[in-house]
Amino acid sequence: ERLQRLAKRTDDEEMRTFKQELGEAIADPSQLPKDALFWAAQYDDGSDAAFLARLWRDLYPDEAVPTA
């Protein structure tokens, strides 16, 4: 819950930038270096796209996941 509150802070430039860049990565996961996200996050979602979509849903549950 604390992380969700932090992620939703519209008065924080860093969090606005994070949200924008997360949306861009979701829309085009090919822009990420190969395996960089997996090694950084050690996720088991099966793909970068699935992990990023889950992260979005976890942080912004009331908003639709961005699409390309």
Give backbone dihedrals phi and psi of 21, rounded to 5 degrees, phi first: -70, -35
The per-residue pLDDT for range 13-67, each reduced to its tens digit, is 999 999 999 999 999 988 889 888 889 999 999 899 999 999 999 999 999 999 8
pLDDT of residue 67: 87
Buried-exposed string 15-32: b where 16+ CB fall within 10 A, e elsewhere: eeeebeebbebbeebeee
CB 53 within 8 A of CB 67: no
Mean pLDDT of 5-20: 93
Count of H-run helices and E-run strands, the chain: 4, 0
Nearest one of 14, 30, 19 to 68, comparing CA atoms: 30
Q: How far apart are CA 24 and CA 29, in angstroms?
A: 8
pTM over 0.85: no
